[in-house]
Amino acid sequence: MTTTETPPTEFRRITVAPIAGALGAEIGDVDLADLDDETVAEIRAAWLQHLVVFFRGQELDSDEFVAFARRIGEPVEYPFVRGFDDHPEIIAVKKLPHETVNFGGIWHSDTVYLDQPPMGTMLLAREIPPTGGDTMFANQYAAFETLSPAMQDLLRPLRGVNSSALADVSKTREDRMRDADDGEPGRVFEASHPVVRTHPETGREALYVNVAHTARFDGMTEEESKPLLQYLFHHQVKPEVTCRFRWDVGSLALWDNRCAQHNPVNDYHGHQRVMHRITLAGDIPS
């Protein structure tokens, strides 16, 4: 354990069962539609400790989903897909039976091309395929801590330039952008952030680049940046720093975008998968 790692917490109102060695835990004995302050505090503590937490059997309507999100952070709208008319904070993340590309189907941290990327994201399963459609998560504290000290020292001063227009991720949202009548498909967002981010609540350092959005190092060309970035993209999602979650209808995931990446597995062609997503406002990475 590093000196700044979040220590284990004693939970009195919820149960917390880790699902893998690297990150991820299922939280039980809780109804997200009926929470008191002590339970919310324990959920947040478990989230900071495990990076991504999962709840099952949460049959929340849209009002209850937004209300829970507001107990954790400030819901914000997604820049590329329009939210629901009555709940603009919620977007539908779906793949239809005839589609072959899934939304966000690549390892990434959410919208790091914004000056203030989100603190966290919530995903609630509404419809799932009979098999497949799992989501994988990767611990970016562990990704950084398993680099050599010399590599850590090399990376700490660097900044990464992140773009919303990289081809591999742009194609994963094309279907949903076509659904958004008032969207801005031609708009490009770009932001520079530290390659090594210090988590504002835990004080731990996390690797903060990702294959979906990080185009180059600030002050370098893409060609110069590519060899090191490609190494980091491979290193940060090795099996030993990941977990995998199998969804049920009513499952809800809450992940920390500041120290975890995720990747929805695209292995259910011919079936429909519908999730509802809320993004929580964050701060400027440092």
Residue type, 226: K
Quote the CA–CA distance of 157 and 196 in Å, as a whole number.
Answer: 8
Q: How many CB atoms lie within 10 A of CB 281?
A: 13
Cross-strand bridge partners of residue 253: 54, 123
> Ramachandran region of residue 227, left (φ > 0), alpha (ψ -120 to 50) or beta?
alpha
Element holding 174 (H helix, E strand): helix 174-179
**Residues catalogued as catalytic:** 108, 110, 262, 277
Quote the CA–CA distance of 67 and 61 in Å, as a whole number.
Answer: 10
Residues 222, 200 contacting (CB under 8 angstroms)? no
Question: The tokens of 157 are what?
Answer: 């001063």
- Paired sense of beta strands 242-245 and 159-163, if any: unpaired
